[in-house]
A and B are shown apart, each in its own frame.
Chain A
Amino acid sequence: AQSVDQPDAHVTLYEGASLELRCSYSYSAAPYLFWYVQYPGQSLQFLLKYITGDAVVKGTKGFEAEFRKSNSSFNLKKSPAHWSDSAKYFCALEDTNTGYQNFYFGKGTSLTVIP
């Protein structure tokens, strides 16, 4: 069965530091992986995706993520972090078996960037 794990419920760091949010997945086929961000009181916004090709993908707002097949991970990175990055981040796996875009989400990581 497919699943997504985000082991860190909360991450706190100071502005200017480098951030890395962890995500691991379990899926029997080639994964389609996504990161979404949710600001307080708002809906989810797309950040980036990995479908195939280069292991490092770049997205919006200066974020990038690295796909590592060897350890089934898709960690989100940004350097330097800015206070406006404070939000909840969700890693998601698309179930490509259905033919439609059904996503399986991790529980999310709440990021706090201290100015």
Chain B
Amino acid sequence: DPKIIQKPKYLVAVTGSEKILICEQYLGHNAMYWYRQSAKKPLEFMFSYSYQKLMDNQTASSRFQPQSSKKNHLDLQITALKPDDSATYFCASSQERNSDYTFGSGTRLLVI
């Protein structure tokens, strides 16, 4: 069974629309993260959350908003989508200061 569930696996969106990427982890971890992997750039850290609180934000755009309704959930809302947002978005989790760091399978987003 997957320990980190990301939904959907594939997503096609129209420019200007809004989408929410879902992430749930069943590892009992305290910290959750979002990363983005696009064709043009290396895997980029976006956000880190611990106990449902934002710890670090390396994303310049406010169009990206994490949402944590539960300790094991960290969804990513993206508004006003642009073609440059096309990428695979990976969720990850870990225990605080512990290198047992697990990535989800990713959501591949295509903005047309």
- List the interface of chain A (C-beta within 8 A of B): 4, 32, 34, 36, 42-46, 49, 51, 90, 92, 94, 98-108
Contacts and interface: CB of A to CB of B under 8 A. Distances in A.
A98 B103 CA distance: 19
B55 A43 contact: no
Q: Is the interface of A mostly helix, strand, loop or mixed?
A: strand
A45 B108 CA distance: 18
B103 A100 contact: no
Contacts of B102: 46
Contacts of B72: none
Interface of B: 31, 33, 35, 41-45, 48, 50, 55-56, 58, 90, 94, 96-99, 101-106
10 contacts: A42-B105, A46-B101, A49-B99, A98-B55, A99-B96, A99-B97, A100-B94, A101-B48, A103-B35, A105-B42
Nearest to B94: A101
